[in-house]
Amino acid sequence: MAAVPHSPLFDLQGRTVLVTGATGGLGQALCQALAAHGAQLLVCDRDPAACEQLTQALRHAGHAAHALPCDLADPDQVRALIRDAAQPFGLPHGLVCNAGVQGPAGPLHAVSDAAWEQVMDINLRSVHRLCAGLLPAMAAQGGARVVLMSSIAGLRGNGRIGLYGLSKAALAQLARNLAIEWGPQGVCVNALSPGLIRTPLATELLNNHDFMSRRLAQTPLRRVGEPHEVAGLAVLLLSAAGGFITGQNLVVDGGTTVSDGS
């Protein structure tokens, strides 16, 4: 049987991608998948030691990676990140905004001003700052791609993490707005909305038998998602295969949000 020719559709060779929230469970899966397809990684998270550890692991596996720690809640650090993103691989071609916080659980009327500011600053405002600071140069370079990490919490009502849901719904709208603004310059901007994914952040839910029984009954695939199943879509959106997709919010939830619970 003849060998299948290599397809350039998902090839990220020579392309630099900045990933925020890189050291968490989903962030590491994103970095590993992007690196496996040839991307040069800019590893960004607020913990410098964790950034360096992941960067060294990627390098040890033969990938190009550079640590850029940043606390996205600090505007000065975000400005420094924008300034330093061109080192050492040149301007990024791709930006994956994965960093986020859940914030307080409970009804919206009980959310404090401080909690509102924290969640919106990290989940939304920092993303806007990064896009505003990086996209002009990325667009001028050509072939720019942006992926914003939303959530199915932004697609339906939620009585427990409503503030988080608001911030994630806003991210999906930000992707649509940026797609309109930057599309004429060839920039693709999309959002991903994962459902329940097997990451350390979801451990409490995964260990809650009653919750899992209800959730799996509402999910046609009857299982939780794996981090690589989200990361694979990021590869698609950042590669040539995703070149005609923009302004979309792609849902990765095993069918939870389309289910009638039967």
Task: Classify the phi-psi angles of 101: left when phi > 0, otherwise alpha if psi is within -120 to 50, otherwise beta.
Answer: beta
Give the Cα separation of 70 and 45 in Å (integer): 6
The helix or strand, by DSSP H or E, that contains position 43, with its residue range, turns out to be strand 40-43
* From 99, 164, 191, 236, the catalytic residue: 164
Best CA proximity match to 147, nearest among 56, 4, 26:
26
25 is known as an active-site residue: no
Q: Torsions phi, psi of 126, nearest 5?
A: -65, -35
β-strand pairing of 249-252 with 16-19: unpaired
- Return the active site residues: 164
